[in-house]
Amino acid sequence: MASKSTPLTAFAEQLDGVAATLPRQDLGWLQDRRAGARDRYRAAGLPTPRLESWKFTNLNRLPRVGFKAAALTDAPSVDSVPVGAAITAEGAVAVLVNGQFRADLSKLGDLPAGATVLGIADALASRDGLLEPHLDRISGQNEASLAALNTAQFGDGVYVHLAEGVTLERPLHVISIGAARGEPVAFHPRLLIVADAGSHGCVLESHVGAGDGAYFTNTVVEATLGDGAVLQHYKLQNDHPAAWHTATTGVEIAAKAVYDSFVLQIGAHLARNEIAAHILGSHAECHLNGTYLLRGKQHADNTTLIDHAAPESKSREVYKGVVDDQARGVFQGKILVRRDAQKTDGHQINKTLLLSRGAEIDSKPELEIYADDVKCGHGATAGELDEDALFYLEARGIDPETARGLLVEAFIGETIDEILRPTMRNALRDIVAGWLTEGRHDGATEKTGVGT
């Protein structure tokens, strides 16, 4: 059955079966949104390279793997969080295993008053009124069929609410674990963040694997920032080497709010991280930064949109990556400045280090500007390590591997320095250093994905 699946029909035949297993069939608003999403997904199927925004990332092998919805399979049990693969951080932890919230693995004890963190199924069971105004409000406007596939099939996830003026001192860490054994499994983690006016918080996402099978994780994140809210949102994608990872993040930023995002893509066979940040109020700031570290035959795509829909706001975007072996990186960054968004200040940079002849980067910066009084710029470069710098280091006694490592860390360090939260810079630097060390130990990390 699965082997006959095409990008158009993939998962479509599972939609009704999964729908019957989802919680709260009695909630009209929820059922309507699920049905709408099923229709949108059935009409489009998986994205194909015929779509402009999917030109460089091809999912046509995905259906051939035969992923089956996690809700319809017996997922292996996971009784602990994989140590080391996730970000190391202080604070509360919410754990998802194959998209299901696991209270037994989570630690949500010491949240301040006014901060609410719930499993989405739990919230739907008793306090669905919290979710109704927000769930699928942003993702429902997204044309992308992957967001619709998530909405049609997610049964759980994490809901985060920061009430007006509340400060979450320590980060909330959402760890999404993919666990498959034997049968390839698909699941759809859902994260809903509502930061009311004047609230401050930090949400980390770690995406990691347990077990040894292939899984397809298709996350949707919706984040709403009220006036003057500050949300630091950092993500580590360190999935299993056979995993397929897609994520669609939609953000709405009100006046004077600050959204600070960083994405580190390091794992998975194929990964696509898409962020659409809509600046809806003036004097807001949006920072989208990230790094991709790829080797073997990995493919990682970072596609971003910064939508300036209000005047006098600022956006900064720095994405830098290192691509080795036969790996391929994709960066597509669009800055849209609408007619009313006068005095917009937007800047974007994408730089890639290619460490081998077979490595590839497709970089597509895009500015679309309808206002006439704006300051916007972008730059993109791709190149090799600086030979002069390498020789200089070696001429001082530093061995070639260490010299290369120093230069790569320096290159990546520029993006990590952009992160507003200092402790997070250190945590991510450690992960980058670990990636470099790993490459030194097994020069040929030939990690082939399932289905290839």
Partner 1 sequence: MTSLLDIKNLHAGIGGKKILKGLDLTIGAGEIHAIMGPNGTGKSTLSYVLAGRDGYEVTSGDVLYKGKNLLDLEPNERACEGIFLAFQYPVEIPGVAGTTFLKAALNAVRKHRGEDELDAMQFLKHVRGKAKELGVGDEMLKRAVNVGFSGGEKKRNEVLQMAVLEPSLAILDETDSGLDIDALKVVADGVNAMRSPDRSMLIITHYQRLLGYIEPDFVHVLANGRIVASGGKELAQELEASGYAKYTDADAA
Site residues, partner 1 (CB under 8 A): 386-389, 391-400, 402-403, 406-407, 409-411, 413-414
Q: Smallest distance from the beta carbon of 392 to partner 1, in angstroms?
A: 4
Of 72 and 433, CB closest to partner 1: 433
In this complex, which beta carbon is closest to partner 1, that of residue 402 or of residue 423?
402
**Considering only CA atoms, which of 139, 156, 159 is closest in space to residue 37?**
139
* Nearest distance in Å: CB 237, partner 1: 23
E strand or H helix that includes residue 105: none
CB of 299 to partner 1, least distance (A): 27
Bridge partners, residue 92, by sequence: 172
Question: C-beta of 318: minimal distance to partner 1 in Å?
Answer: 13
**Nearer Cβ to partner 1 (243/419):** 419
The two structure tokens encoding residue 82: 């994989």
Nearer to partner 1, 312 or 409 (CB): 409
- Sheet bearing 258-265, strands edge to edge: 100-101, 92-97, 172-180, 200-211, 230-238, 258-265, 285-294, 314-323, 345-354, 375-383
Smallest gap from Cβ 389 to partner 1, in A, equals 5
CB of residue 398 to partner 1, shortest distance in Å:
5
Which residue's CB is nearer to partner 1, number 282 or number 402? Answer: 402
DSSP per position, 327-342: -EEEEEEEEEE-TT-T
Name which of 320, 326, 290 is nearest 410 in CA terms. 320
Give whole-number Cα distances, 142 to 148, 334, 417, in Å: 8, 15, 31
Beta pairing partners, 273: 247, 302
Residue 450: CB minimum distance to partner 1, A: 37
**Quick one: which of 282, 236, 238 has its CA closest to 256?**
282
Query: Quick one: 376 or 407, whose CB is closer to partner 1?
Result: 407
Strand partners, 450: none
Task: Name which of 50 and 357 has its Cβ closer to partner 1.
Answer: 357
197 exposed, middle or buried (CB, 10 Å; 0-12, 13-18, 19+)?
middle
